[in-house]
Amino acid sequence: MRKYYFDQYHSPVPGFYIERGIINRNFSPHRHDFTEMVMILSGQGLHIIEERSYSTGRGDVFVLTGDTVHRFEDTVNLEICNIMFDPVLPHRQYPGLASLSGYQALFSVEPRRHLDGMIEHRTSLDGKQAICLEELTGLLIDEYGKTCREEGDPALILSLFGSMCFYLSRLAEERMKEGGSTNTLYASVASAHIHSHYGDELSLEDIAGITNVSARHLRRIFSEIYGMSPGCYLKNVRLQEACRLLEFTSRHITEIAFSCGFGDSNYFSRLFRSVYNCSPREYRLSHRGSSSPPGVPSG
């Protein structure tokens, strides 16, 4: 089985690549080392994800993690748009995204649950919603082409991509309110709350209280979806935000530690070194100005 790597695409925008095309043949099973958003623009065909088959149509949106195996079969003029991106890129560029339960559902929780066959992994937009998404897609592709010719602006590309993520996140939040998997809702709301309040003193009971489930049940949900406890997830979010502040601000390291919820700057430095194999200061020096830095390990 073939595996695609992001660096094969030689993108002028670090951590981001977009392409549009028509498929009239079977596309063999593959996986990749990036997150992929697949949007169906027209035509027909089968999108097979982890051996589950979806008959596709205009307005269908799939978000796939790098571990997901997928392929296309029985395609007839199937026009798709693929956006490939570093999974940490959207919320590092726009931290407010991670505080939206819809964003957590669409870009984090549901792709992980689909790997275990727990949910149907597809968002289907109505006609008006599909038109809005297609307009954003057209602007993105145009600007990306200009940037490839050194005539465009990478900042505008990321801005348009951020708008797309916000729009889809809002639709996902509305969909969750109308019904769906309760565990997806619990995990998404809890994750969004953690991203909104990582700088506060948060206990497991505090997080569980937001979702109106028991601490024990929430711990089980996080273990199934993220492979870690809510406490470990909170620690990773704090480290991820610390990395962002080290790269993009000149704030003192002690100030960053406290603002990210670490009550002891010495503990923060020890933990940071254990995860990144360098001190916060060394990380700042080596990553300052980086557009697509490494994310926090998942476990």
Query: pLDDT tens across 28-64, in order?
Result: 899 888 999 999 999 999 999 988 899 999 999 999 9
Lowest mean pLDDT across 85-99, 110-124, 159-173, 249-263: 110-124
Task: Look at residue 295 in the predicted model and tell me its pLDDT.
Answer: 45
**Max Cα separation, the chain?**
60
Q: How confident is the model at residue 230 (pLDDT cuts 50, 70, 90)?
A: very high
Q: Can you give the pTM of this predicted structure?
A: 0.86
Is the model's pLDDT at 222 over the cut of 90?
A: yes
> E-assigned strands of the chain?
2-4, 16-23, 27-32, 35-49, 52-55, 60-64, 70-85, 123-124
Task: Look at residue 288 in the predicted model and tell me its pLDDT.
Answer: 73
Q: b vs e for 17-30, b when ≥16 Cβ sit within 10 Å of the residue's Cβ?
A: bbebeebeeebeee
Share of the chain above pLDDT 90, in %: 73
Rounded distance between C-alpha atoms, residue 78 and residue 72, angstroms? 9
> Strand 2-4 relative to strand 27-32: parallel, antiparallel, unpaired?
parallel
The tens digit of pLDDT for each residue in 163-213 reads 999 999 999 999 888 876 688 899 999 999 999 999 999 999 999 999 999
Q: How confident is the model at residue 120 (pLDDT cuts 50, 70, 90)?
A: low
Is the model's pLDDT at 17 over the cut of 70?
A: yes
Rounded distance between C-alpha atoms, residue 34 and residue 93, angstroms? 17
- Ramachandran angles phi, psi of 78, nearest 5°: -80, 105
CA distances (Å), origin 32, targets 5, 17, 78, 80, 159: 6, 13, 21, 18, 25
Sign of the CA dihedral running 168, 118, 184, 65: negative
Task: Look at residue 179 in the predicted model and tell me its pLDDT.
Answer: 73
Bridge partners (DSSP) listed for residue 31: 3
Structure tokens at 208: 């569980």
Rounded distance between C-alpha atoms, residue 61 and residue 86, angstroms? 18
Q: How confident is the model at residue 10 (pLDDT cuts 50, 70, 90)?
A: confident
The tens digit of pLDDT for each residue in 124-149 reads 999 999 999 999 999 999 999 999 99
**Sequence-separated (6 or more) residues with CB below 8 Å from residue 186:** 211, 213, 217, 218, 221
Task: Look at residue 115 in the predicted model and tell me its pLDDT.
Answer: 57
Stronger pLDDT, 15 or 119, i.e. the higher one = 15
Q: Which domains does the chain have, with CATH numbers?
A: 2-177 (2.60.120.280), 182-287 (1.10.10.60)
Question: Residue 33 in contact with residue 75, Cβ under 8 Å?
Answer: no
Stronger pLDDT, 213 or 298, i.e. the higher one = 213
